Amino acid sequence: DYELCEEWEHLYPVPREDLINLHREHLLHLLEMGDMEKALQLLQRIEDPGVCLAISEQSLDQHPNLAASHFLADYLTAHFYASLTTARRNEIQALYIGSKVLLTLPEVSRVNYFHLSSRPLLMLEQLLMNMKVDWVAVAVQTLQQLLAGQEIGITVEDIDSLLSKYAEKALNFPFTLKEKRS
């Protein structure tokens, strides 16, 4: 049906908003099906960069699944970096990094942290609070690689500070140990 609508679009004038809605729904459908190649081809067929940007941003704002969010954040950063405001750019890059960190977690646990995908530092803190130390190690390594040379409001120093804070809490005993005497 989407392809038929796309053919009609070439034959008859379609209002810009309807065109954006059609392509957004088609893109989301392809991403939900896991067909990233066709999704990329769809975006490449759209001649108007403004329409393509609107479709990509609106699709991302619909909060699709993890793989789709990662794809859209990567696409927007790669193709429309200069067109985005600084705040929106940081938001999209944070989502990209957060989704990359989520992909390092075991698949069955990703759903528990998906709501934090746009806030990687908070995700890291949640992992620390849940005592997922092995996952934290992989997440920190991934974050350090991704943050090299990027400015998204998160720095390696922020990660180190968070880790230091929780390491200090782990060593803080709220009571004193008393020796038992006979």
Q: What is the mean pLDDT of residues 131-138?
A: 87
How does residue 141 score in pLDDT terms, banded at 50, 70 and 90? confident
How does residue 151 score in pLDDT terms, banded at 50, 70 and 90? low
User: 112-125 pLDDT, tens per residue?
Assistant: 988 888 888 889 88
pLDDT at 182 over 60: no
Q: What per-residue confidence (pLDDT) applies to 71?
A: 92
Instruction: Count CB atoms within 10 A of the CB of residue 173.
Output: 7
pLDDT at 58 over 80: yes
Nearest to 93 by CA among 114, 111, 75, 106: 75
Q: What per-residue confidence (pLDDT) applies to 15?
A: 86
Write the DSSP symbol of residue 148: T
Q: What is the mean pLDDT of residues 5-27?
A: 84
Q: What per-residue confidence (pLDDT) applies to 27?
A: 93
**Token pair belonging to 26:** 């088609």
Q: What per-residue confidence (pLDDT) applies to 148?
A: 72
CA distance 31 to 71: 8
pLDDT at 159 over 80: yes
Instruction: Count CB atoms within 10 A of the CB of residue 109.
Output: 14
Nearest to 109 by CA among 66, 73, 170: 66
What is the number of helices (H) and of strands (E) in the chain? 10, 0
Q: What per-residue confidence (pLDDT) applies to 28?
A: 93
